[in-house]
Amino acid sequence: MEMKNAELVLNTDGSIYHLKLNPGDVAETILLVGDPGRAKMISEYFDTIEFSGQNREINTFTGTYKGTRLTVLSTGMGPDNVEIVVSELDALFNIDFKTRKAKEDKTSLNLIRIGTSGALQADIPVIKSYVVSEYALGLDGLAYFYEDGPNVILSDMTDSFINTMKWDERLPRPYAIKGSEFLLEKLAKSWRRGITLTAPGFYAPQGRELRLKVHDKTIIDRAQKFEYNGYKVTNFEMETSALYSLSAMLGHEALTVCDIIANRVTDDFNPNYKESMRNLIQQMLDRVVEL
């Protein structure tokens, strides 16, 4: 079926609308970061750079590291941004822009998010502390907007979380989803694994108050007690559930590893987290070349 002009949106130069990229500009293994500046920082580790581009908050660099072709791309913050990025990355590989039809032979991408996060367990330190998202629990509701959403979520885990939390029906229905088994086996190694809560915002959805009062002040206390398959809720961030659900529906491998820079239980914060992030980036790059 041919995709409509207002659905597959292309720029006048033929590039995909938000990313402003053309097929061939990105590698099949893509490191995703929220911060555009972090994308530039990671690109400085590359041995060669063949392409760089920028549009809005999206910085893209494609090159090689130890002989492996890689792309690093910034998504900006939030599940809405991740939905745009993952959908358009998929389109670059799996839609023919000339015929506006999906290709018969699909390409599966490795989408690896390197992020920062706040811990929700008191025993997680904030100095060179890295957590792999074995599971994501989305509080954003994104998966339910897709026909295939219910087919990829973990219904037992979802129901267990909703029941344990006594979830307010006025809020978006949570959904649980697992990261890529392939990438977990290849990349997780010695890092701690856990359940990541993905919030649709930084303040009230994560229990923070400035001038506006939070509807539910107990979400952290209740969430840190939730357990599934021996895993506890380890951290809060704003991207992983969107990344995992879209990747599962589209047939891509996805994994998030976060540098823990704050602990919401102990109120610790690492002001020198950039050094810790550089250490994580170096370790990830060295693991990715073994895929």
Confidence class of residue 80 from pLDDT cuts 50, 70 and 90?
very high
Q: Give 39's contacts (C-beta < 8 A, 6+ positions apart).
A: 33, 59, 60, 61, 72, 73, 74
Average pLDDT, the chain: 96
Give whole-number Cα distances, 170 to 90, 155, 211, in Å. Answer: 33, 20, 22
Residue extents of the structural domains in the chain:
29-288
Per residue in 151-204, pLDDT tens? 999 999 999 999 999 999 999 999 999 999 999 999 998 899 999 999 999 999
Element (DSSP H or E) covering residue 89: helix 79-94
CA–CA separation, 188 vs 203, rounded Å?
29
Q: What pLDDT does residue 1 have?
A: 85
Give whole-number Cα distances, 26 to 60, 62, 64, 142, in Å. Answer: 8, 6, 11, 25
Q: What pLDDT does residue 217 have?
A: 87
Q: What pLDDT does residue 239 have?
A: 98
29-288 homologous superfamily:
Nucleoside phosphorylase domain (3.40.50.1580)
Q: What is the mean pLDDT of residues 243-267?
A: 97
Reading phi first (left if > 0) and then psi (alpha if -120 to 50, else beta), residue 203 is in alpha
Confidence class of residue 272 from pLDDT cuts 50, 70 and 90?
confident
Per residue in 28-56, pLDDT tens? 999 999 999 999 999 999 999 999 999 99
Q: What is the pTM of this model?
A: 0.97
